[in-house]
Homo-oligomer: A and B are copies of this chain.
Amino acid sequence: MRLTTKGRYAVTAMLDLAIHARQGPVSLSDISGRQAISLSYLEQLFAKLRRNGLVESIRGPGGGYRLSRQDHEINVAEIVDAVNETIDATRCNQKGDCHDGEKCLTHHLWMDLSDQIHGFLSGISLNHLVDRRETLEISRRQGRKGERISALAEED
């Protein structure tokens, strides 16, 4: 489980997609304009998102991308994994050599920790984030500051 700016770009773009889903397919140049991410970089990211079955593409004028599932069926962990997609063998890759205990234990420990984070992010769907955004926008219109996020990662 890696967590870099690349993952953030992907989540941001997917969120933009979810928000503008009602007006039909969303073109990458729209996202590029709104989110200030370069078009070609978006192309790279969406190629991976598409290969991982998170989005579908519609070609031609008026085309673009749309979510291939409902926004509550797509979680943050999937998005991050899709764009990273290196299965991080972590120097001792299960099978061999690392049997002198000490190393393998701390290594195994990190894997557990990584699993925990993964599980945590799996509990946060795009839908959660969209809802959160609407709350924020309303409070912005009313001139208040957004309250602290409450049940972002609640159980299903």
Chain A positions near chain B (C-beta within 8 angstroms)? 1-5, 8, 11-12, 15-16, 34-36, 76, 88, 91, 101-103, 105-110, 112-113, 115-117, 120-121, 124, 129, 132-133, 136-137, 140, 146, 149, 152-153
Contacts and interface: CB of A to CB of B under 8 A. Distances in A.
Given A101-B140, A117-B121, A153-B116, A106 B15 contact: yes
A103 B136 contact: no
- This chain: copies in complex: 2
Contacts of A117: 3, 117, 120-121
Contact of A16 (B16, B106, B149): B106
Secondary structure type dominating chain A contacts: helix
A38 to B, nearest CB: 12
